[in-house]
Structure 1
Amino acid sequence: MTKYHAVRDQLLDRLDDMTAGDQFPPERDLALELGVSRMTLRRAIDELVTRGAVRRRHGSGVFALGPKLDQALIASSFTEHMRARGLTPGARTLSFEISPAGSRTQRQLGLREGAEVVAISRLRLADDEPIALEDLNVSRALLPDLRAEQLEDRSFYELLREQHGIHVAHSIQTIEPTVLDDEEAGHLDVPVHTPALLFERTSCDADGTPIEFVRSVYRGDRYKIRTELTVPHPTGRGTQQDATDGRRP
C-alpha cells in the first residue's frame, strides 16, 4: 500500500468517529500528526471530496459529510425515507405554475392534447441540508385546488392520501448518472458539474391511472443506491430482491 493510500485509510478511520459537520484539524497540523507531506495529505483529501465523504470549504477547512443516504427504489415518500433515518425532512417550493402539458408530460400522464398540468419545482432538504431538486407534474383535473403552500415541508404522497384519498400503487422509474448545471448546483449548494443521480418516475393508482410524473436530481455526494440480491435457487426458483427503502416525493 502506498503512503497516499495509507493516509486515505487513516482519514476514513477518523471519519468513523466524526459526525456530519465536524471539521478536520488544519492541514499543517494534520500532516504533522500523520507524518506525511501536505501534498500527500491534500491528494488523500481530494479523493475523499470526490467520494462525497468530506467537503472542502475554501478559507474554512475540510468538514465531514457523514454517511451517504441509501436511495430508495420503491414507491415511498422522501419524507418517510428521511424520518426512517432520524433526519428532519423539508421541502421548499421554488416555482408553481399551471400550463398546458408538454408532449412528454402529456404522454407520461395519459392526458389529451391541451390538458393543463400543475408543475411544481421543489428543493428537498434533510436536516436543512439541500439534498435534491424535484420537478413534479400532476394533472390539474386531478387536483384542481392544489396550492403551492400545501407542499411546503410536506410529503406529496401524504397530501394525496389524507386530503384526496388517492394512493400510489405502482411506479415506473429510471435512474441515470448526470452532472449538475449552474442553476441546479446553486440550489444544492455544491460546485457546478458535481456528479448527481437523475430519477424520472411515473406513478399510478391501483386502477392504473397516472398520478404524477416526476424528474428529480439527487446529489451524488450524498446519495447512493443499495440493493440486495438473492442467489438463484438451483431449481430456478430464486429471485432478485430490492432491499432499499424510501423514495420521494
Structure 2
Amino acid sequence: MKRYALQPLVIGALNPESPVSKHRQLRAILRTHAQETCKPGDRLPPERELAEYFDVARKTLRQAIDSLVEDQVLKRVVGVGTFVAHPKVDLQAKLTSYTEEMHRRGMVPAARVLRFDSVPAVGNLAREMGLAEGTPVVRFRRLLLADGTPMSLDDNFIPEHLVPGFLDDEAPMSLYQRLDERYGLILQWAEDEIEAAAATVENADLLKVEIGFPLLRVTRHAYVDDNLIDFSVSVYRSDRYKLFVPIQRHGMRPPRYTKITQT
C-alpha cells in the first residue's frame, strides 16, 4: 500500500465496517472516478494494480468493473485494457438537422463534404425515390463529426427540379435549414428503416473504425405532404449510438419520442 501513498490510483477507500458489499463500494468509487476525474477514452489502471491497491480479490474487482461495463460507464478492449466509455448521446429520430441536435447537446458539430453534385437516379436509387430512370438528383455526401470525432456518414439525395440553383451555392452546413430558408420546404414526416451493417473499407477509413466494425444503417424517406423531398442513407458508429424506441398501445397516452442514442 505504501507505493501508492503519494499518488493514489483512484481517490476513495473501502469501509470494512459498511454493510455494503466490497464490490458495490468499488463500483461506486470507480464510477465517481470515471465520471468526475477522467475523460472519455482515459484508461483505468490495470486490474492487478487496482486489486492490490484496494486489497481485494481480483474476482471482487472484476465484478465491480463488469457492472460498470454493463452500465456503459466503462468499456473493455480485449488485450488492451479498460477505458472510460464515451457517453452515448441521444440522436432522436425526428425531423431536425444534425447541427441542431448536436448544438442541443452542447457538442460542436462539423461536417466534411465529400460530394456535392448532380447525378442521374438509376437502379435502386430511382426506385427508392419513385423517379424515372435518369432523373437528375442532387447528391450530398458528408462525414459528420461532433467535438472532432467522426459520428456518421450521410448520403442525401434530393430531386433536382425541386431545388433549382441549389448547387450554385456552397454546400450547406445544415441541409434542412437550407431547404427551409431558400425553398420553403419544411419536412413534415418521414419513414426510417434501421438495420445492422458492417464497416466497409471506405466507411471504416472515414469513420476511424476497423473494417467489419458494427454500424447502424438508417434509410430515410422524408416528405412534404406526399412529395418525397429527401432520400438519405446514413451509417452511424455503433459505439456512439444506440436505438431507443418507445412503444404505444393504440388509444393510450403518446410516448415522449422515438430516438437513436449516441456515445
Normalised by the size of structure 2, how large is the TM-score? 0.73
- Counterpart check, 1:134 vs 2:148: no
The match for 2:257 is 243
Give me the whole-angstrom Cα distance separating, in 2, the residues matched to 1:222 and 1:84. 17
Provide the aligned C-alpha RMSD in A.
3.8
Pair 1:203 & 2:203 matched: no
Gaps of 5+ in 2: 1-21
- Counterparts of 2:228 and 2:218 in 1: how far apart (Å)? 17
Deviation string, structure 1 residues 182-202 (Cα, Å, up to 9, x no partner): 221211112222222110001
**1:64 aligned residue:** 84
Match of 2:230 in 1: 212
Q: Whole-Å Cα distance in 1 between the matches of residues 168 and 114 of structure 2?
A: 9
Greater mean alpha carbon deviation, residues 179-188 or residues 37-46: 37-46
**1:23 and 1:51, CA in 2 relative to 1: closer, same or farther beyond 3 A?**
same
Alignment size in residue pairs: 240
Q: Secondary structure at the match of 1:151?
A: coil
Residues 138-217 of structure 1: pairs in structure 2 closer than 5 A: 138-147=158-167, 150-151=170-171, 154-206=173-225, 208-217=226-235
CA displacement, residues 95-152 of structure 1 (integer Å, 9 cap, x when unaligned): 2332211222222323222211122221111111110010111112222322397335
Q: Distance in 2 between matches of 1:196 and 1:82?
A: 20
- Shift of the 171–230 alpha-carbon distance from structure 1 to 2, 3 Å rule, reads closer
Q: Is the 8 A contact 1:96 1:118 kept in 2?
A: yes
Contact 1:179–1:195 (CA under 8 A) maintained in structure 2? yes
Q: 3-state SS of the aligned residue for 1:210?
A: strand
Match of 2:141 among 121, 134, 158: 121
Relative distance call for 1:19 and 1:141 in structure 2 (3 A) is: farther
Q: Which runs of 5+ in 1 are unaligned?
A: none
- Determine what percentage of the aligned residue pairs are the same residue: 33
Deviates more, 1:82-91 or 1:63-72: 63-72
| 1:212–1:231 distance in 2 versus 1, CA, 3 Å | closer
What one-letter code is carried by the residue in structure 1 that aligns with 2:235?
Answer: V
Equivalent position of 1:100 in the other structure: 120
3-state DSSP of counterpart to 1:190: coil
Given the alignment of the two structures, is residue 223 of structure 1 paired with residue 237 of structure 2, yes or no?
no
Moved more, 42-51 or 197-206: 42-51
Residues 19-58 of structure 1 mapped to structure 2, 5 A cutoff: 20-21=39-40, 23-27=42-46, 29-35=49-55
Q: Which residue of 2 aligns with 1:111?
A: 131
Once the two structures are TM-superposed, the CA of residue 168 in structure 1 deviates from its matched residue by: 0.4
CA distance in 1, matches of 2:189, 2:221: 9
Whose relative contact order is higher, 1 or 2, with alpha carbons under 8 Å and at least 6 apart? 1
SS in 2 for 1:147: helix
| Alignment-derived partner of residue 83 in structure 1 | 103
